[in-house]
Amino acid sequence: MSEVPTFMKAGVLTAPRSIGIQQRPIPEPGPGEVRIKMKAVGICGSDVSIFQGHRPDLKFPLIIGHEGLGYIDKPGEGVSQHQPGDRVVIEPNFPCGHCEFCWQGRSNICLNKRIIGVLETGCFAEYAVVPANFAWKLPGSISDDDAVVIEPTAVALHTLYSSPARPGDAVAVVGLGAIGLLVTHLAQKMGYTVLAYDRVQEKVNLASAFGAIPISADATTSQIAALWKDTRVHTVFECAGAAQAFTMAVEAAPRGANVVVAGLSDKPSAITEFGMTRQGINIITSIIYQHPIDFRRTIDLIDSGFLQPGRIVSAREPFSNLASAIEIACSGEHAKIVLDV
């Protein structure tokens, strides 16, 4: 009989811009938890932000990563809904379920929310442990490429649903990283007219392949404003996470339009209240998703064949290349890099 391993490989961030593969003990699931043998993990924009040192509140060393796909390896005590071998995707934000915001149906801003890969051990590793209710069993009809991007697709779904725009309206997406491209894909499939802009032309081209109206990466704010006005853009989705992108989105938005902020810039923008208020621009914020409805909706939409979010995967790397892969992700040239564990 082969010996059961006690250590695993894990991607450990020891300081900003310092990450490497280390040997760590394989975690044991507690009551109500499951241990997952990871198969693939996506690199998220928030992983890049943490890696670059934009979260000084975090404690090192930290295993980051949260967009995980794998197989149930060991159910903890009291877990009956999962069996070893079940293919699952991780929902990495764990609301408490009992604070005032959870009771309001706003679990995305839960006061006691646990976040793997940010506030506690993540899934850039061979094994990860999560609460059983946050490991979603997947139907066989969903490919691994689609499955590994379910979490950002749920973010995009919540972002789209945060807007008062409805199918038939024209919307604009600024910033075509994973979330921007997935908002584009969702909106176009649901019957919106989508105008897509990014400073990287290759990402604009990908949005065009999703059916969006492309806006040249070289377009000026005044040119974008004129186009949005002519097409009667109802809502602008700011998905870039950069202060200048938010400034442009508000300045170019047509009179009376909505701007949904899904990006997470940590720098101040150059917006004045006078101009925004005089134009009647409505600012709406959107962060992550509501548990459990947004994950359930996302899985059902992919299972039905309506969505193919795996189309945003632009590169795959072996887990051993984690350090170089996250450096590449920092360039902003890729839509989604996936690590095969």
Per-residue pLDDT, 266: 80
Reported pTM: 0.96
Burial bucket for residue 332 (CB in 10 Å: 0-12, 13-18, 19+): middle
Task: For residue range 10-34, list pLDDT tens digits in order.
Answer: 999 999 999 999 999 999 999 999 9
Confidence of residue 177 (pLDDT cuts 50, 70, 90): very high
When computed from its CA atoms, the radius of gyration of the chain, rounded to whole angstroms, is 20
Beta strands in 159-210, from DSSP E residues, in sequence order: 170-174, 193-197
**Whether 48 contacts 329, CB under 8 Å:** yes
- For the chain, give the mean pLDDT: 95
Per-residue pLDDT, 274: 87
C-alpha 103: how far from its chain's center? 24
Domains defined for the chain, CATH in brackets: 7-153+289-340 (3.90.180.10), 163-285 (3.40.50.720)
Confidence of residue 4 (pLDDT cuts 50, 70, 90): low
Task: For residue range 28-55, list pLDDT tens digits in order.
Answer: 999 999 999 999 999 999 999 999 998 8
Averaged pLDDT, 320-334: 95
**Whether 148 contacts 55, CB under 8 Å:** no
Per-residue pLDDT, 132: 98
Sign of CA dihedral 91, 158, 184, 245: negative
Per-residue pLDDT, 3: 59
Least confident of 51-60, 90-99, 144-153, 209-218: 51-60
Per-residue pLDDT, 329: 96
Flag whether pLDDT at 211 surpasses 50: yes
Sign of CA dihedral 229, 230, 232, 236: negative
Per-residue pLDDT, 143: 98
CA distances from 182 to 178, 209, 268 (A): 6, 12, 26
Task: For residue range 233-278, list pLDDT tens digits in order.
Answer: 999 999 999 999 999 999 999 999 999 999 988 888 888 888 899 9
Flag whether pLDDT at 56 surpasses 90: no
CA pair distance 194, 197, nearest whole angstrom: 10
Sign of CA dihedral 236, 239, 241, 244: negative
Per-residue pLDDT, 1: 40
